[in-house]
Structure 1
């Protein structure tokens, strides 16, 4: 869990609502006894979610094909749904 808390503090987003959702998720995870693999997966998931907008911007700049850009729009909504489902459980 310490790994999760450190990761949250290091990559804290400028988006207040996103930070609150992540904080709720981290607090819920503190209540549940997760093994090392589960902790690592959650850290990776949070890292991807927090850094996704920047990554997509970089990818969009490098992409020329409009169809490829449209495919990338699906990814953020999928990750947001995953985060919301984790919070709601």
Structure 2
């Protein structure tokens, strides 16, 4: 049972870490692209916000899977 909870914690932690790295790369590329071609800034910003929304789905899915492991799989192992 402890391994299920540990694996859920690892899923949530890795999802958060990957999202943080993804946002850092996305923001850096936005600034780099905007500095190269300032006239495309509104289009780049719109596409960046769409990608940020998609990138936010990664930890949400991880939290959903972790909650499934904790509340569905782990209680079944107790008895």
TM-score tier after normalising by the smaller chain length? 0.3 to 0.5
Q: Which protein has the bigger helix share?
A: 2
TM-score, length basis structure 1: 0.41
- Point out the structure with max Rg over C-alpha: 2
TM-score, length basis structure 2: 0.44
